[in-house]
Amino acid sequence: MHARQIAEGIYRIGANITNGDLFEGMWPIPEGVSLNSYVVWGEKVALIDLVRDWDEAPSRMREQLDSIHLPVQQIDYLILNHLEPDHTGWLRTFRDLCPRAEIVTTPKGANLVKSFYKITDRVRAVKSGDTLDLGKGKKLVFEEIPNVHWPETMVTYEPSSGVLFSCDAFGSYGSVGAEVFDDELSSAQHEFYERESLRYYANIVASFSVFVERAVQKLSGLSVNVIAPSHGIVWRKNPRQIIDRYVRYASYAEGPAEAEVTLIWGSMYGNTEKLVQAALSGLKEEGVPVQVHQIPQTHVSYILASAWKSTGLVLGMPTYEYRMFPPMAHVLDDLGRKKVFGKKVFRFGSYGWSGGAAKELGEITAKYKWEFLDPVEFEGAPSDKEYEGVKQRCKELAVLVKKTARYSR
Ligand code: FEO
């Protein structure tokens, strides 16, 4: 693959991770993820963000530097917007290959360069508003955007081109092939990256939504022509699209989101399962879209994406040993860690000789600010009364969701 030119003297360098590893050691990326770096070339040369030694990413980077006839030893500055090792894991080797390059990062970033890589020399700490003149009309302006995604994070802006190197902000999962720019993608590809940007947001960024809103506000004074993130495609035709998408995702943090429901269910012997269709039928009668996830078969990465986007949740699970069906407890714990708060929720499920799921559900979700409808809980197999009860309650939930959703599409 060749480096792609974004503007005169500005190039995108990308490596796809497709070896089946989990992102952050926990999130599936069956369609891969790209690690993007950028070159800004004036009289001096800056490389913005690095890679980890992962699925041959350093080799991909060097091939693309070769494609623009830029030996790694010629790099004057390495800009580290963010120290998470997906963007810095190769730093020790890079420093050995190019000891003259000065590392430029925030003060907190400099501390992480020291703690992760034991490097303290030729490290420059910059703060919001600081600039670096590369010559030939190219300049870099730094702006801290703490907690998008780690506390040390900053973005880098190049005023002559209007390119914003936004690091994790405005990124997505998904490998990037020959089509790097938004205007090169088919509508199917756009749909794919939209799905994967939501899942990326829900998995990686959701907990920091308030900081996303602050960052967007802070950057609103910049004249941005191109969004160049560290994962995913480059937005040059319509950068506003990905900014607006992130603003919308961040707004879900308060609870009311899309007029949709996520149904999460698990069953031991099929008695709870028998009511899933009743739940779907109630939601369908009210015309509310629903995404269904069976647990433990579905990875929580996907459940987080749809739960984050939904205003309503339906939980179907039996009691297990006087407590909740354990896979549901795990999912609910993860929803709390990612701050899926403020939802409208209905629960149904069976028990054998004693209930108990309700008590644990209350304990786990005590701080989630969830509003619960009355549950339908039953001993053994469901009767017609429970079929009707679940359907009716789901209709009530759907009405509530339509009334309280922030967006109706
Ligand atoms: Fe892509 Fe937070 O690192």
Q: What is the CATH number of domain 4-253?
A: 3.60.15.10
Characterize the bridge pairing of strands 138-144 and 102-105. Answer: unpaired
Topology agreement, domain 4-253 and domain 257-403? no
The answer to whether the CB of 82 is under 6 A from ligand 1 is yes
Q: Can you give the pLDDT at residue 354?
A: 81
pTM of the predicted model, to two decimals? Answer: 0.96
At 285-326, the pLDDT tens digits run 999 999 999 999 999 999 999 999 999 999 999 999 999 999
The answer to whether the CB of 143 is under 6 A from ligand 1 is no
Using the atom order of ligand 1, give the atom closest to the CA of residue 149.
2
- Measured in degrees and rounded to the nearest 5, phi and psi for residue 146 equal -55, 140
Rg of the Cα atoms in the chain: 24
Q: Can you give the pLDDT at residue 408?
A: 87
Domain borders along the chain are 4-253, 257-403
The answer to whether the CB of 149 is under 6 A from ligand 1 is yes
d(CA 85, ligand 1 centre) in Å: 8
Burial annotation 313-328 (CB, 10 A radius, 16+ → b, else e): bbbbbbbbeeebbebb
Please check whether the domain covering 257-403 is classified as CATH 3.40.50.300.
no
Q: Can you give the pLDDT at residue 13?
A: 97
- Give CA 90 to chain center in angstroms: 23
Characterize the bridge pairing of strands 131-135 and 138-144. Answer: antiparallel
The answer to whether the CB of 86 is under 6 A from ligand 1 is yes
H/E stretch holding 142 reads strand 138-144
Residue whose CA is at the smallest distance from ligand 1 atom 1 = 168
For the four alpha carbons of 217, 221, 223 and 229, in that order, the dihedral sign comes to negative
Instruction: List, in sequence order, the alpha helices (H) in 164-223.
Output: 187-200, 209-219
Q: Can you give the pLDDT at residue 142?
A: 98
Peptide bond just before 99 cis, omega within 30 deg: no
Task: Choose among 159, 163, 168: nearest CA to 206.
Answer: 168
Residue 256, pLDDT above cutoff 90: yes
Residue 356, pLDDT above cutoff 90: no
H/E stretch holding 358 reads helix 357-364
Mean pLDDT of the chain: 97
